Amino acid sequence: MSAEAPAPPAPVPAAWRTARARIGANVPDLPCAPVDDPADPDTVVGEYALGSAADVDAAVRAAAAAFPAWAARSAAERAGLMLAAADRLDPLVATAAAVLVAEVGKVPAEAAVDAGGASGMLRRYAVLHETADEATVAQDGSVRTILRHRPVGPVAVIMPWNSPVYLAFGALAPALLTGCPVVVKPPEDAPLALTGMLHALADALPVGVVNVVPGRGPEAGQALAGHPQVRAVFFTGGIETGAQVARAAAATITQVMLELGGNDPALVLEDATVGPQLVRELVAGAFTGSGQICQNIKRIYVHRRRHDELVAGLTALVEQLPVGPASEPGVLIAPLTTDAGVRRAEQLVASARAAGARVVESGTVVGDLRRGRFVRPTIVTELPPDHPLVLVEQFCPVLPVIAVDDDEQAIAEANRTEFGLAASVWSDDVAHAEAVAARVEAGTVFVNVHRLGASIEAVPYGGVKRSGIGRNHSTWSLRACTEPHATVTWSDAASTLPGLARWPQPERAS
Ligand code: TXE
């Protein structure tokens, strides 16, 4: 460990200040890099181990060694261990949430949901143990088929900083249930809460079932994605990094599940009532997480007849949003987590202004914004529909609102980007909204809602086009960590399966 890391402030307790690697039963002593506070980047809140390719290799070997015994248990047994582990994690959730406030910069209510994902995901997947162990037996004439779903083997989990605990446990819980040990690479910008929870999880399960290697993406992440003994990679992050992960995995013919960015459109149709409820939903959908959630509303297309009243409503509500450090009571717009995010926000806003757009930077300031990575909540109108603020994932609280002439134009604009994670359609006429929704290119299209939690477990979650590959949630997640395994038994192949006649009969023994 680096001996003289500066003393961090109160919110991060001593036991959580260093994100250490966990390789099997070992907690190696590795060099570390600092983690800062987005509300005051001069303040160091902790440090994370700089895992190397050799550390990743050791962790994957530990996972591979644990695989046979873990896979040999029934899913019901694994579920029992996961439920016991969830009970051990529950008392840590409040501390993990406080750590997330310090390292991600997110507000306490959102940090609580993120941290609660640890025990929540273990429980959510544990109840699916019968599905995980399901074997289907079919008899077709003289042929009997048994179809099982066998665990693939060690699973790599590489996650971003925006919801580190929730996303990582959402990926590892189905892997554990199906019999796959995991190696997790936490994000360098927010490694502390996740790593703390993973050590507690590792303590609750057999050695080697949960391994952690904090470190930089291009080193530890890349080594993990390309490791020959990793059998599946679960990745959430940016498109370019996702492509690098897929390339590394391709070299070893390893399956990938990629949840990449979203640039979710909200289509407000002519027959939508633009009242307080609609405005409130759109603001919550766009500004949760200060705009740094994959499923935020990132662009609004509104029928020209509704445009002015919608913009007036949005602008008035956004003006009320408290902007400040997440530790200040009542704050809704907290700092962005990364410097890169702030730079991108500033460039997009400057470019929108230069393009002649109307830019209203707003919010109500709470506390001191001078030191942190703050971006005021901003509504941008009169913007060309092909402006970068519309076409890229802005990942900040800057929301473009674009007028359209009719449904056709709204659908065409919604579909013109390379993204397709989620979308929403807003109308008083549900049948009309659903007809429009069917034509929007996205993994999920919501009607009259577009917020976290709106995507229920029963439906597959993931994106089309460059928003990703694969789906998660409930059984889709289980299938992503398993391979179909078929046993096919013929009781009378010689007489019912053609093709044997051209082969000679063995000489009969005289
Ligand atoms: O993600 P990265 P970043 C989008 C969003 C954001 C952009 C970049 O637009 O601004 O992506 O965010 C690890 N091999 N989303 O920089 O770089 C890295 O260490 C293997 C959308 O945080 O994709 C981290 O653990 N791994 C998204 C993880 O990948 C590598 C959420 C994600 O980092 C690696 C977050 C490599 N070569 C960002 N390089 C969403 N869908 O919600 C980095 N990593």
**Three-state DSSP string of 182-234:** EEEECCCCCCHHHHHHHHHHHHHCCCCCEEECCCCHHHHHHHHHCCCCCCEEE
Q: Are strands 422-426 and 264-268 parallel, antiparallel or unpaired?
A: parallel
- Name the strand (E) or helix (H) holding 348: helix 339-354
Q: Residue 155: what are its φ and ψ, rounded to 5°?
A: -115, 135
Mean of all residue pLDDT scores within the chain: 96
> Under 8 Å CB-to-CB from 403, ≥6 apart: which residues?
301, 302, 303, 304, 307
Q: Is the pTM of this model over 0.85?
A: yes
Q: In what order do the strands lie in the sheet with 422-426?
A: 358-361, 378-381, 398-404, 297-303, 264-268, 422-426, 444-447
Binding pocket residue ranges, ligand 1, CB within 6 Å: 158-162, 185, 187-188, 217-218, 221-222, 225, 236-238, 241, 244-245, 259-262, 294, 341, 393, 395
Q: What Rg do the C-alpha atoms of the chain give, in angstroms?
A: 25
Dihedral over alpha carbons 51, 56, 58, 60 (to 10 degrees): 150
Predicted confidence (pLDDT) at residue 6 exceeds the cutoff of 80: no
Kindly report, residue by residue over 400-438, the tens digit of the pLDDT: 999 999 999 999 999 999 999 999 999 999 999 999 999
CA of 240 to the centre of ligand 1 (A): 8
Pocket test of ligand 1: the residue of 103, 110, 158 to mutate, having most ligand atoms within 8 Å of its CB, is: 158
> Under 8 Å CB-to-CB from 467, ≥6 apart: which residues?
259, 260, 261, 262, 419, 420, 421, 442, 443
Which candidate, 383, 374, 376, 378, places its Cα nearest to that of 354? 383
- 167 touches 195 (CB < 8 A): no
Q: How far is CA 14 from CA 10, 17, 19, 131, 204, in A?
A: 9, 5, 11, 41, 21
Task: Return the structure tokens found at 196.
Answer: 């703390």
Pocket test of ligand 1: the residue of 184, 241, 336 to mutate, having most ligand atoms within 8 Å of its CB, is: 241
Kindly report, residue by residue over 464-500, the tens digit of the pLDDT: 999 999 999 999 999 999 999 999 999 999 999 999 9
Amino acid at residue number 141 = G
Kindly report, residue by residue over 56-72, the tens digit of the pLDDT: 999 999 999 999 999 99
10 Å Cβ neighbour count for 484? 10
Least confident of 158-162, 177-181, 318-322, 492-496: 492-496
> Does the annotation count 294 as an active-site position?
yes
- 173 touches 122 (CB < 8 A): yes
Predicted confidence (pLDDT) at residue 4 exceeds the cutoff of 90: no
Mean pLDDT of 160-183: 98
Q: Residue 340 CA: which ligand 1 atom is closest?
A: 10
